[in-house]
Every structure is written in structure tokens, then in C-alpha cells.
């Protein structure tokens, strides 16, 4: 299967430059800077070969949440009254806030999607270690990542077992008791497993650090792409301060 | 933006404390328990026609103690990366609020059950009460930060406070029940 251009970008350079870009967009508040941020994130999505369908899928949840929150945002009182209807008043500040959240969250999610598109998470954590994140934390992240999937499988099995026993029809306190039992089973199992895993890893010589066999090698093109992204981030910040 | 950066600074300081208290040999155990808490928080709980996800903040702090700090950070990181819940720019603020609340929960629980290790019903009530206060504390901190971000966020802060008030009550009851059962079958998980 053909690789997308973003998959050739060195993980360390990609991580640093895209995180800086995310913070530059989070810093913005003026329409021109926010629209530029969105335009650059769309360009990034297009040129890096990120699947647009996946980007749209990732945008769905935050946009639904924003849609749910929008009546509360719109009805928040402000200073400058725009429209007055029989029951509600709509202020400029509320609409500005809705527009700001929509633009900034869309841009940040698109960049985040580019950062994670077909990324190998273990390699991403290796890159995090290279850029100075403590080894202990990386070890916790790697181990947590491994066990999340294992426990999700366990949870699915427990939920099916509960459904077979007509748990899904229960309501109120009875539902709370069954949910507590499912969580308890999961936690006791994981506690016992954590003791076994710890003993097994210490016996195999684990001293709190993971070592990666593969080393990073950056190419000239990695630096150029990162430079373009950093220039865009600087441009967005300048636009915010000068416009 | 200044709140986001302050959140990151607070998170870095608290993570340093958490990592210092985590022995290298304990890392697999912390990670495994962290993953279990993260998974357990995916369980839906029905309230009327809607359903909520629990944070299990109190339970995590009671069982893991100060070691809950890196586990919380890992949980939030994977929530952002795997499920796109929360963003990377707000990760610092979210983590700082949850870590501070977890520390409050751990220290108040330890203080209140000191010398009363054989009273399981009392410990369960304390666990439930402390969890309720922990979630309320996290709610107050989040709402205050929202209000500090601008007057226009007041409506959102109110909505957040109301929904999390209900969640705090459910979490308190659930944690009390779980701790009560753990004291019968695996007391070392709670009293170590």
C-alpha cells in the first residue's frame, strides 16, 4: 500500500513543529489569524496526504459537542446587543465566542489528525523521549497503551455477560450495583495481573527504562517541511499581534 | 492561552512529584492499573434517557495514591490521542485540575481513615464522601477557569457545574460501593 507523504516525515521534527503550530493557533483570537490558521491546517491536511474522510470522522465528535453547547453559548449575556427576539437576546460577544471555538477547534483537530495519521504510537513515544520527556513517563505511556486494548477486550466480554443476564434492562440503583461489580472485577483482575507483570519484567532485567532498537535519522526534507510549518506558526502569531 | 500555559507548568510540576514518588520497579504496575482505570471509565452509566462516563478520579487516587498522577496523565493523553476527547492545548489544564483533585482525595482519605483500618463501613463512607468532594473540587476549578477566561464563558461554566454535580454524586456512591467490596475481597488494594 502506498505511503502518504506525512509518513515519511521524521517523527521528532513532526512532533515538535506541529505542537508549536497547535499552540500558535491556540494563542490566536483575531479573525484574520484564526482564518489563516484554519487555511494552513487545511493545506497541511491536503499536502500531507492525510485521509480527508478520517479527518471528517475525527471532527464529528467535537462538532456535535459544540452543536450541543451552542444554544448555551449564544444565550450568554454580553455587552453589545445584536438581536432582540420576544424571549431571547443575542449578543455579539456570544456569536464571536462560537465562531472562535469553531475555527480554533477545527484547525487544531486537523493538525492533530495530521500528527497521528497512520503514526506508529510506539515510535511517537520514542520521539517524545528524544525531545526530553522523562523516560519513566514514556515507560508508563508505553505499558498503559499495551494494556488499554487488553482491558477493553475484557470489558466487552464482561458487558456481553451482563447483557445476557438482562442487566441492560435495569435502571437506577440496581444498574449502579451491577456497574460497580463490572468495574470491581476489572480492577481486581488488573491488580493481580499488575503484580505478575511487574515481577516478570523485573526478573527479565527491567529497571524502569525501555530501549528502542531503531534510531531516528532525519533527512534534509524533514527540516524543510518543519521550517515551513514553523514559519506558518510565526506568521499566525505576527498576524495576531499586528493586524 | 495564558491559562493553557499555566496548566502545562502546573502539570509539569505535579508530574515531576508523581514520578519522584513512583519507584522504577513499580512502573509496570502503575501502567497496568492506569490502563484498567481508563478502561473502566469507558463504562456508560444511565441517568434517565441519557448516559454518562465516569472519571473514577477518586477511586484511582484512593488505590494508587500519589502514583495516580502519572496514571492520570497517561489516561488523558490516550483519551486525546485515541478517542480525540479533549485537545492537546487543553491537556495541561485538564491534567492539572485532575491531578490536584486526586492529591486532595488521596491525602484526605489517608488522614480520615488513620487508625480506623478495621472499620470497613466507615472507610467506605469516607471513600464515597471524599470522592464526591474531589469531583466537586475539580468542577469548581474548571468552572472558575472558564469564568476567568472571559464573561462569555459564564453560561458554559453553569452548564458544566450542573452536569458534574450529578456526576459527583454518582461517583461518590459508586466508589463507596467498590471500596466496601474491595475491603472484603482485596483489602491490600485500599489499605496499603
Structural domain boundaries enclosing A161: 128-203
| Segment A176-223, tens digit of pLDDT | 788 788 888 888 888 888 788 878 888 888 776 677 777 888 888 889
Nearest residue of B to residue A196, measured between CA atoms = B29
Q: Cell 525531545 maps to which residue?
A: A131
**Are A99 and A38 within one domain?**
yes
Range of lowest pLDDT (A94-108, B96-110, B163-177): A94-108
Angle at B95 between CA B92 and CA B97, to 5 degrees: 110
Residues of B in contact with A191 (CB under 8 A): 33, 36, 63, 186, 189
pLDDT at B131: 94
At A70 the pLDDT is 75
Q: Indicate the pLDDT class of residue B160, thresholds 50, 70 and 90.
A: confident
Best residue of B11, B30, B36 to probe chain A, by most A CBs closer than 10 Å = B36
The answer on pLDDT for A32 being more than 70 is yes
Nearest C-alpha in A relative to B29: A194
Separation between Cα atoms, residue A137 and residue A129, nearest integer Å? 9
Could you tell me if residue A232 is inside a domain?
yes
Among candidates A96, A148, A179 on the partner chain, residue whose Cβ is nearest the Cβ of B43: A179
Three-class SS state of B52: strand
Residues 6+ apart with CB under 8 A from B110: B65
What pLDDT, in 10s, does the model give residues B126-153?
A: 999 999 999 999 989 888 888 887 766 7
Q: Are residues A99 and A57 in the same domain?
A: yes
CB within 8 Å: A144 and B31: yes
**CA gap B149, A238 in Å, rounded:** 22
pLDDT at B45: 66
Mean pLDDT for A150-155 is 80
B84 with A62: Cβ contact below 8 A: yes
Q: What is the pLDDT of residue A205?
A: 80
Distance CA B176, CA B130 (A): 9
The reply to whether A88 and A39 lie within a common domain is yes
The domains of chain B are located at 2-191
- pLDDT bucket at A231, cuts 50 / 70 / 90: very high
Cβ A93–B151 below 8 Å, yes or no? yes
Say if the Cβ atoms of A186 and B39 lie within 8 Å: yes
Q: Do B39 and A22 touch (CB under 8 A)?
A: no
| pLDDT per position as a tens digit, B25-50 | 778 778 877 887 777 777 766 665 55
Q: Which chain B residues are closer than 8 Å to A75 by Cβ?
A: 155
Predicted interface score ipTM higher than 0.85: no
Matching CATH number, B2-191, of 3.30.497.10, 1.10.260.40, 1.10.1760.20, 3.90.1200.10: 1.10.1760.20
pLDDT, position B48 = 59
Closest Cα in chain B, distance from residue A223 (Å): 23
Asked if A99 and A32 sit in the same domain, the reply is: yes
- What mean pLDDT comes out for the span A27-33? 86
Nearest to A97 by CA among A89, A105, A108, A109: A105
Chain A hits for B150, Cβ within 8 Å: 97
What was the pLDDT predicted at B125?
94
Confidence of residue A115 (pLDDT cuts 50, 70, 90): confident
Cβ–Cβ below 8 Å for B37 and A187: yes
Give the residue among A35, A104, A149, A68 at the shortest CA–CA distance from B50.
Answer: A68
Q: How much is the pLDDT for B121?
A: 92
**Location of C-alpha cell 486532595:** B104
Query: Is there a single domain that holds both residue A9 and residue A93?
Result: yes
Q: What is the pLDDT of residue B172?
A: 92
Q: Do A227 and A115 belong to one domain?
A: yes
Paired strand residues for A90? A83
Model pLDDT, residue B104: 94
Mean pLDDT for chain A overall? 80
Instruction: Find the helix or strand (DSSP H, E) in which B135 lies.
Output: helix B120-149
Q: Residue A141's pLDDT band (boundaries 50, 70, 90)?
A: confident
pLDDT of residue B86: 57
Structural domain count of chain A: 2
**Cα–Cα distance, A151 to B9 (Å, whole number):** 32
A36 and A105 belong to one structural domain:
yes
Give the closest-approach CA distance of B25 to chain A in angstroms. 6
Number of Cβ pairs < 8 A linking chain A and chain B: 199
pLDDT value at position B62?
Answer: 92
> Using an 8 Å Cβ cutoff, are B182 and A184 in contact?
yes
Same domain, A135 and A227: no
- Read off the pLDDT of residues A68-93 as tens digits, 9 standing for 90 and up: 777 777 777 677 777 777 777 777 77
User: In this predicted structure, what is the pLDDT of residue B84?
Assistant: 55
* Contact call for A201 and B28, based on CB within 8 A: yes
Within this chain, do residues A52 and A169 fall inside the same structural domain, yes or no? no
If asked whether residues A115 and A140 sit together in one domain, one would say: no
Same domain, A158 and A198: yes
Distance between A201 CA and the closest CA of chain B, angstroms: 8
Q: Which residues of A touch B30 (CB under 8 A)?
A: 140
CB < 8 Å to A77, chain B: 154
- The verdict on A67 and A186 lying in the same domain is no
Mean pLDDT, to the nearest integer, of B11-23? Answer: 86
Amino acid at each position: 500500500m502506498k505511503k502518504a507523504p506525512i509518513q515519511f516525515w521524521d517523527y521528532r521534527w513532526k512532533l515538535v513543529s506541529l505542537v508549536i503550530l497547535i499552540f500558535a493557533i491556540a494563542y490566536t483570537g483575531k479573525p484574520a489569524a484564526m482564518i489563516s490558521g484554519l487555511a494552513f491546517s487545511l493545506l497541511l491536511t491536503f499536502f500531507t496526504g492525510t485521509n480527508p474522510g478520517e479527518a471528517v470522522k475525527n471532527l464529528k465528535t467535537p462538532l456535535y459537542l459544540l452543536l450541543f453547547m451552542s444554544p448555551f453559548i449564544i444565550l450568554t449575556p454580553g455587552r453589545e446587543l445584536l438581536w432582540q427576539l420576544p424571549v431571547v437576546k443575542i449578543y455579539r460577544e456570544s456569536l464571536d465566542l462560537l465562531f472562535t471555538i469553531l475555527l480554533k477547534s477545527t484547525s487544531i483537530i486537523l493538525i492533530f489528525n495530521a500528527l497521528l495519521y497512520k503514526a506508529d504510537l510506539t515510535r511517537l513515544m520514542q520521539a517524545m523521549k528524544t525531545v526530553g520527556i522523562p523516560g519513566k513517563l514514556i515507560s508508563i505511556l508505553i505499558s498503559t497503551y499495551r494494556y488499554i486494548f487488553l482491558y477493553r477486550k475484557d470489558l466487552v466480554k464482561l458487558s456481553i455477560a451482563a447483557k445476557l443476564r438482562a442487566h441492560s434492562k435495569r435502571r437506577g440503583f440496581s444498574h449502579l450495583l451491577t456497574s460497580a461489580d463490572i468495574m470491581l472485577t476489572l480492577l481486581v483482575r488488573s491488580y493481580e495481573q499488575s503484580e505478575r507483570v511487574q515481577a516478570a519484567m523485573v526478573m527479565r532485567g527491567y529497571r524502569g527504562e525501555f530501549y528502542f532498537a531503531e534510531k531516528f535519522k532525519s533527512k534534509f526534507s524533514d527540516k524543510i517541511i518543519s521550517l515551513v510549518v514553523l514559519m506558518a506558526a510565526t506568521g499566525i502569531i505576527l498576524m495576531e499581534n499586528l493586524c | 492561552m495564558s491559562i493553557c500555559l499555566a496548566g502545562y507548568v502546573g502539570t509539569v510540576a505535579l508530574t515531576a512529584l508523581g514520578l519522584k514518588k513512583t519507584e522504577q520497579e513499580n512502573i509496570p504496575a502503575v501502567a497496568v492499573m492506569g490502563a484498567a482505570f481508563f478502561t473502566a471509565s469507558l463504562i456508560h452509566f444511565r441517568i434517565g434517557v441519557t448516559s454518562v462516563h465516569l472519571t473514577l478520579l477518586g477511586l484511582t487516587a484512593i488505590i494508587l495514591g500519589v502514583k495516580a498522577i502519572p496514571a492520570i496523565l497517561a489516561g488523558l493523553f490516550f483519551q486525546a490521542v485515541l478517542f480525540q476527547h479533549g485537545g492537546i492545548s487543553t491537556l495541561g489544564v485538564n491534567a492539572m485540575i485532575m491531578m490536584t483533585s486526586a492529591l486532595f482525595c488521596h491525602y484526605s482519605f489517608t488522614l480520615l481513615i488513620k487508625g480506623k483500618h478495621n472499620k470497613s463501613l466507615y472507610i467506605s463512607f469516607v471513600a464515597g464522601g471524599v470522592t464526591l468532594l474531589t469531583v466537586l473540587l475539580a468542577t469548581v476549578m474548571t468552572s472558575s477557569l472558564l469564568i476567568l477566561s472571559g464573561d462569555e464563558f459564564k453560561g458554559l461554566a453553569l452548564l458544566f457545574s450542573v452536569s458534574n454535580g450529578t456526576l459527583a454524586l454518582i461517583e461518590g456512591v459508586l466508589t463507596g460501593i467498590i471500596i466496601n467490596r474491595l475491603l472484603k475481597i482485596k483489602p491490600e488494594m485500599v489499605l496499603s
